[in-house]
Amino acid sequence: MRGAQHHLSTRLARAVLPPVASLVLVLVLVLAPARATAQATPEFATLIADRLFIDSATRLIAEGNVEALFGTTRLQAQRVTYDRTSGALSVEGPMVLDDGRDVIMLADEAQLSDGMRRGLIRSARVVFDEQLQIAAASVERLDERFTEMNAIVASSCEVCAQRPTPLWEIRARRVVHDDQEQQVYFENAQFRLFGLPVAYLPRLRVPDPRLERATGFLSPRLSFDTGHGIGLRSPYFIVLSQDRDLTLTPFVANRGTRALELRYRQAFATGQLELGGIVARDAIRPGETRGMAYASGDFALGRGYRLSFNVIQPSDRRFLEDYGRDQPRLTSDVTIERITRDTRQRVQLLQFRSLRLGDTNAVLPNQVGQAVIEYRRDVPGVGGVAGLRLEAETLRRRQVLSGTQALPGVIADRPRQVGRVSLDLDWRRDEVLAGGVLGAVGLHLGLDHFRLSDTGGAFPPQLSRATPQVMAELRWPLVRSTGAGARHVIEPVAQVIWGGDRGAGLPVEASRMPEFDEGNLFSLNRFPGHEGREAGLRSNLGISWTRHDPEGWSGTMTLGRVWYQRNQGQFADATPLSGRNTTWLLAGSLDTMDGLTLSNRAHFRSDFRLERTALELDWTTPDFSLSTSYMRILANPFEARGAAASEWSFEGTRALTENWSGRLGWRYDIAQNRAAQASVGLNYQNECLRMEMGLERQFASATRPEARTSFGLNIDILGIGGNPSRARRMCNEM
């Protein structure tokens, strides 16, 4: 062992030879020439033992708490005999061999050579990444890459005296571990649950826990629903290269469903791409080939520009619901965007498609194109911040709808296509006035040009509009601290705005539900789209209160309203913004250190008649989590809602034991006095197995003529591949 270092711990005080003589003899042994100098012999980086023996000119014996390092390999044993002539190590255990690559062997005895890269180990247990364990009668290290094991039992479950049988195990006659490919090959394998054999596989290959991506089957999923019956999904994952993979998921059900799902993913130096889809034939629509395709990606184009897209297209309205991907509306987009500190540039193509049975896609604005440029700059000399926004938009629908309300009081054909160019110029300056009052003034000018087609004479084919606005604002934040350390902030706000409208009414193309909340209480314009701009003289008045408590909880509350000089009929009746005065807005929230979050937003008239309310409560602790919400909205024909809507939803999970947890959820239509959806589930997870069971019921409604029930079962074997096992806390219990 030329160039080797030899280290003796204080335990050498009990050595058979005197310490000095022992050291001299070891150095003579290491430095003396030998007949086998051409052989690849190990070089001890460190050798620690209680006792050392020089048995002959070429043999070194270490006994008692032996630790030896060979490069990255570490050996711990009770007795090690080294033959310098053959380079062989004879090890007596109990021994632990750590190769420095997250693979550890525990055994009774071993015969090793070639720097512990080869050898035979008896009564061994191999542990991969502290997860998958393989117990074998013998282990033979063929070289650095291959290790062969015989008469093995493999599992990632904890085994202890109270429960000697693991929850799951694989028994095999022979196993070969390929360290380079990080694969484990089983011959004549038998898979057992609770000690009972459930499957026999002549050949079985599984990735070791260190490998996150490997070609092979993923965990299957068993399902049952009223449309397909009993079905089985069995995904097969294919690694095409380091940056590409493909997943094929066949789905077979007893009611005639035959489907294949594909997902292709590729990573690039500048982004990522995902393509996928489903092709199916089923008894839900006999004789038809149904399917869905999608594409999504995100790429950096250079100079700060990013390209992103998300496109999805089903063959029919019910396909996504029938195959467990229920969405009320689909939005496809292709976007190029660049955002810097003072600028934003975006070009976007959008396509909307509703899956609700009550919606007619032919009359919705299906295709939208939009380009936006925004600049924000400080104004020298005058002070304040100036902004510029230039936007071009075009939208198109497939057919003309007659007799639909446009703006309030206007009944006409809706245009098939609308084009718009808008320029917004604004300036705002904030100052701190006497007494801590914050003052602000602002100017805004909106210029719009519209081109409309197929209006039937209800609207001009071209229309231009200029909307100037002037704003003045005062805020007076009042701060108070209590003796207990709590801090209160009360801030009354008064904002006066004048706006002029130089254009006639336009068809409503954006949302028909204008929002009124604490986010736009002090806003120049509350229309969701550019077809309307808020005009007239008005006052936005409100007051907010915030409390920060040193014990870790905080609360906020906002009360506000908008007063108009006169009712200009801009917003439809029964909306919170209609009339000369809007509804009162009351919003509040509460956050605690215990994970409780409560928020509420309500609209009510001067006579305290509640019109809208939305309450949401979320509470998360180590033992449970729940989320519940309540919503109530009055009827409004302009928003295509003929009756009042009121709904209560709930979702909750609870840890039943260390391994078991349950979940429960529902949606209840209070206005119709009927259940809309209900679900219940049970989950189990220990250190080596994860199981999820769930039952869901979708009840029939005006937009869903048929009720639907589905059941799902998913079992994941942990500790194999990129499915890490959970940290062990106690002996395995089920």
Domain boundaries, the chain: 1-116
Please give the class, per CATH, of domain 1-116: mainly beta
Residue type at 146? F
Q: In the predicted model, what is the mean pLDDT of residues 75-91?
A: 85
Give 577-599 pLDDT, tens digit per residue: 888 899 999 999 999 998 999 99
Beta bridge partners of 599: 589, 616
pLDDT: which is higher, 46 or 310: 310
Task: Give pLDDT, residue 575.
Answer: 84
Give 639-686 pLDDT, tens digit per residue: 777 788 899 999 999 999 988 999 999 999 998 888 989 999 999 998
C-beta separation of 721 from 206 below 8 A: yes
Task: Give pLDDT, residue 7.
Answer: 38
pLDDT: which is higher, 165 or 723: 165
Task: Give pLDDT, residue 391.
Answer: 97
Task: Give pLDDT, residue 353.
Answer: 85
From the number of C-beta atoms within 10 Å of its C-beta (0-12, 13-18, 19+), residue 698 rates as buried
pLDDT: which is higher, 341 or 569: 341
Given pLDDT bands bounded at 50, 70 and 90, which one contains residue 321?
Answer: confident
* Nearest CA among 171, 155, 175 for reference residue 163: 155
Beta bridge partners of 67: 48, 76
Give 115-127 pLDDT, tens digit per residue: 666 788 888 888 8
> Measured in whole angstroms, how far is the alpha carbon of residue 132 from the centre of its chain?
27
Given pLDDT bands bounded at 50, 70 and 90, which one contains residue 11?
Answer: very low
pLDDT at 14 over 80: no
Of 281-290, 604-613, 633-642, 649-658, minimum mean pLDDT range:
633-642
C-beta separation of 687 from 720 below 8 A: no
Give 358-373 pLDDT, tens digit per residue: 677 776 778 899 999 9
Q: In the predicted model, what is the mean pLDDT of residues 445-472?
A: 86
DSSP state of 285: S
Give 26-69 pLDDT, tens digit per residue: 333 333 333 333 334 445 557 788 888 887 777 888 898 888 88
Residue 110 and residue 141: Cα distance in Å, rounded? 10
- Percent pLDDT > 90 in the chain is 45
- Percent pLDDT > 70 in the chain is 87
Task: Give pLDDT, residue 116.
Answer: 67
pLDDT: which is higher, 632 or 142: 632
Residue 270 and residue 243: Cα distance in Å, rounded? 12
Task: Give pLDDT, residue 42.
Answer: 46
* Nearest CA among 504, 499, 540, 549 for reference residue 522: 540
